[in-house]
Amino acid sequence: MNQRIIITGDVVHSRSQDIGLWMPELEHSLRLHAQRFDVFRGDSFQAEVDVEQLFTTIFHLKASLRSFENMDVRLGIGIGEISYIDPDIKKASGTAFVYSGEAFDHLGKESILFKSENEDLDAFLNLTTSLACLIAEQWTVNMAESVKAALENPEATQQELLEIIGRKHQSQLSLELRKANYAKIQQVIRYCTQELRKHA
């Protein structure tokens, strides 16, 4: 079907922390997962990601920003076509961009919303990810840091993750990942990726 995925997002409470601290983390997350992206108006961004990276991107973005007190991201995700491709993502166009913008504009109290031409797919993704985001929105700063490190280093042992994060006790890291429901988040990433593959 060659469907493409566009994320339109912004940073929640961007002025509560020094932009010099959180902007590198936002850009690092986008650079890690997106095929191309742009950050504009200080705290808004748009990115193109592929099916295999989409759900990891979602939770990595949330973990990256929730590593700062009171911060988070809101995401409108469009699944569709790109009719005009330009190296500058702001100049590209197509239904993926239209749907992404519409999803973002209709977020309301949700922090994530999907839109495509397939209403059944939208209903499934919106229900599943909104429930998973309720888990993510309970992450403390330490939990978010642990989830971020685990998502960035899926093959690392807990001892290696300890060194990456700079923590001393493996029991602390294990507890943080358990409280963050990291295993459940991984299941959501795998299951939603599997389902989206069928349509995209």
Any idea where the domains of the chain sit in the sequence?
4-197
Orientation angle between helical segments 170-179 and 141-152, nearest 10 degrees? 100
Are 113 and 126 spatial neighbours (Cβ–Cβ below 8 Å)? yes
List Cβ neighbours of 197 (8 Å cut-off, separation of 6 or more): 51
Question: CA nearest 141: which of 37, 16, 32?
Answer: 16
Whole-number pLDDT of residue 1:
53
Between CA 73 and CA 80, with CA 74 as vertex, the angle to 5 degrees is 125
pLDDT at position 172, please?
87
Report pTM: 0.94
Q: Which two tokens stand for residue 4?
A: 């493409």
Using alpha carbons, list the distances in angstroms from residue 78 to 7, 22, 50, 174.
6, 25, 12, 35
* pLDDT value of residue 10: 97
111, 137 contact by CB (below 8 A): yes
**Could you tell me the end-to-end alpha-carbon distance of the chain, in angstroms, rounded to an integer?**
6
Which class is 4-197 in CATH?
alpha beta
CA distance 176 to 100: 33
Q: HSE-up of 157 (CA within 13 Å, CB side)?
A: 3
In sequence order, which residues have a C-beta less than 8 Å from that of residue 167 and are 6 or more positions away?
173
Residue 112 DSSP code = E
How many CB atoms lie under 10 A from the CB of residue 83?
Answer: 11
pLDDT tens for the chain, residues 1 to 200: 578 999 999 999 999 999 999 999 999 999 999 999 999 998 999 999 999 999 999 999 999 999 999 999 999 999 999 988 777 787 789 999 999 999 999 999 899 999 999 999 999 999 999 999 999 999 999 999 999 999 999 999 888 998 889 877 778 899 999 999 999 999 999 999 999 998 87
